[in-house]
Amino acid sequence: MKNINKIILGLLAVSLAFTSCEDEDKDPITVHIGDANKAAYVRINGYQSIVPVTDVPDAVFSATVNDRLGNVASWDLTVQLERGGDIIAGPADLVSLSSFPTDISITYDEIATALGLTTADISAGDFVRFLGTATGKDGKVWTFENFSASITGQPEQLQAFNFVVLIKCAPITDATVGGTWIANLQDSYGDGWDGAFLTFEIDGSGTDYTVSGGQGFEAIYEIDVPDGAELIISYTSGSFEGEHTFDLTSPDGPYGSYGPAPAPCVN
């Protein structure tokens, strides 16, 4: 009986330990126990997380940066440009703050210059990734690596350590949008699109279309778009891109042919 009691007490101790760890993960302000060891946690909010590619030349990254506990000595922000999972420019220093709360306003022209680029080099489908580093008044340095995915991966945490802005494809403006669109997707090898897909986004709601392995060489879809809707058509690449092509027909007639290795945006 004594051995059974010991086992039960041991299991309870392990359970409490896991619960404690989970609670700490949920609250970024108490990464360590005790006021003197609380994380130098910085929040950022108010910025536009999606920017249409056509707006980039005149767009501004504006946000409010806040140190909720008053224990941050400084916060430094760097930026990098990512395309297809690769870093194509950066990281580059962008801004450094030592007082909070502070409003920041940085044009995308300034962001491009910091990266050694121009806004013309920023393409639809790109991610502009911002990486923050906070130094506490105790001298400790904090980056996104100090926080769990439950913090850095949740928008409601407003974390200022690792966040992105998506450069979005432009809406269709050179054809009648309302009506039936036909998407003819082809794979020259006959084994489907290998993870690639075409997205029709109608008024902010997207549906993905692909060629499955069972469909083989071709898949044809008819997409009904309401009158007055905003339509964005984008392509997400997979493997063996040289095999992938597609044709689009708008309500006006043939719209265009794309691929092999189609670009991320139709417009």
Query: Domains of the chain, with CATH numbers?
Result: 24-168 (2.60.40.10), 179-258 (2.60.40)
* Helix (H/G/I), strand (E/B), else coil: 226: coil
Q: What is the pLDDT, as a whole number, of residue 1?
A: 42
Q: What is the pLDDT, as a whole number, of residue 124?
A: 87
Name the token pair of 183. Answer: 């998407």
Query: What is the rounded distance in angstroms from the CA atom of residue 82 to the CA atom of residue 220?
Result: 32
Name the token pair of 251. Answer: 């309500």
Q: What is the pLDDT, as a whole number, of residue 35?
A: 62
Q: How is 129-193 classified by DSSP, letter by letter?
A: EEEEEEEETTS-EE-GGGS-HHHHT-GGG-BSSEEEEEEEPPPP-SS--SEEEEEEEEESSSS--
Q: What is the pLDDT, as a whole number, of residue 150?
A: 82
What is the radius of gyration, based on Cα positions, of the chain?
Answer: 24
Please list, residue by residue across 32-57, b when 16 or more beta carbons sit within 10 angstroms of its beta carbon and e when fewer do.
eeeeeebbbbbbbeebeeebbbebbe
Query: What is the rounded distance in angstroms from the CA atom of residue 170 to the CA atom of residue 187?
Result: 26
Q: What is the pLDDT, as a whole number, of residue 174?
A: 94
Q: Per the confidence metrics, is the pTM higher than 0.75?
A: no
Please give the DSSP secondary-structure letter assigned to residue 101.
S
Q: How many CB atoms lie within 10 A of CB 88?
A: 15
Q: What is the pLDDT, as a whole number, of residue 264?
A: 85
Strands 72-83 and 50-52: unpaired
Q: What is the pLDDT, as a whole number, of residue 131?
A: 98
Q: What is the pLDDT, as a whole number, of residue 37?
A: 65
Q: Point out the residues of the chain with pLDDT beneath 70.
A: 1-37
Q: What is the pLDDT, as a whole number, of residue 13?
A: 40
Residue linked to tokens 């997707």:
185
- Of 172, 125, 166, residue with least CA distance to 266: 172
